[in-house]
């Protein structure tokens, strides 16, 4: 049962949850640099730790999606237009 492929709708929900959690981790991490209150900062720290764990578990399940594919080391193609940047 543990190795069975996921259903289409479950996989798409996982896609949504994983992207949501990823944004949560990023936001809670970066907000730690902006926050004034130390208690709030500690809460954010705790949220990052818990979310990282949750994200790992979700990613593990997501591997059973029917459209699963080998994940490359980096993004396949550079997508941001850097032509306007001048190198000195």
Partner 1 sequence: MNNDYLDPINSIHVPELADTTFAMDLLLRAKEGVRNVAVALTESASPDVRALLRDQLMQGIAMHQEITDLMINKKWFHPYELSEQYKLDQLSANNTVMIGKMNLFPVETNRKGLFAQTPDEHSDKQ
Partner 2 sequence: MNYALHEVLEVHEMAVFKTTCLTKSKTMKALVTDETLKGIMQQDIDVSSKQLQEYASILSNAEQQ
Instruction: State the residues that interact with partner 1 by CB under 8 A.
Output: 11, 15, 18-23, 25-27, 29, 32-38, 41, 48, 51-52, 55-56, 58-59, 62, 65, 67-72, 74-80, 82
Total binding residues for partner 2 by CB under 8 A?
A: 3
Q: How far is the CB of 8 from partner 2 (least distance, A)?
A: 6
In the list 12, 23, 30, 40, the residue contacting partner 2 (rule: CB under 8 A) is: 12
Residue 9 binds to partner 2 (criterion: CB under 8 A) = yes
Question: Within 10 A of 6 (CB to CB), how many other CB atoms are there?
Answer: 18
- Chain contacts with partner 2 (rule: CB under 8 A): 8-9, 12
């Amino acid at each position: 049962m543990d190795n069975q492929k996921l259903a289409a709708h479950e996989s798409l929900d996982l896609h949504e949850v994983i992207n949501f959690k990823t944004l949560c981790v990023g936001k809670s991490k970066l907000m730690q640099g902006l926050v004034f209150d130390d208690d709030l900062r500690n809460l954010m720290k705790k949220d990052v730790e818990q979310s990282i764990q949750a994200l790992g578990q979700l990613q593990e399940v997501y591997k059973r999606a029917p459209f699963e594919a080998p994940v490359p080391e980096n993004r396949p193609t550079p997508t941001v237009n850097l032509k306007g940047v001048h190198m000195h």
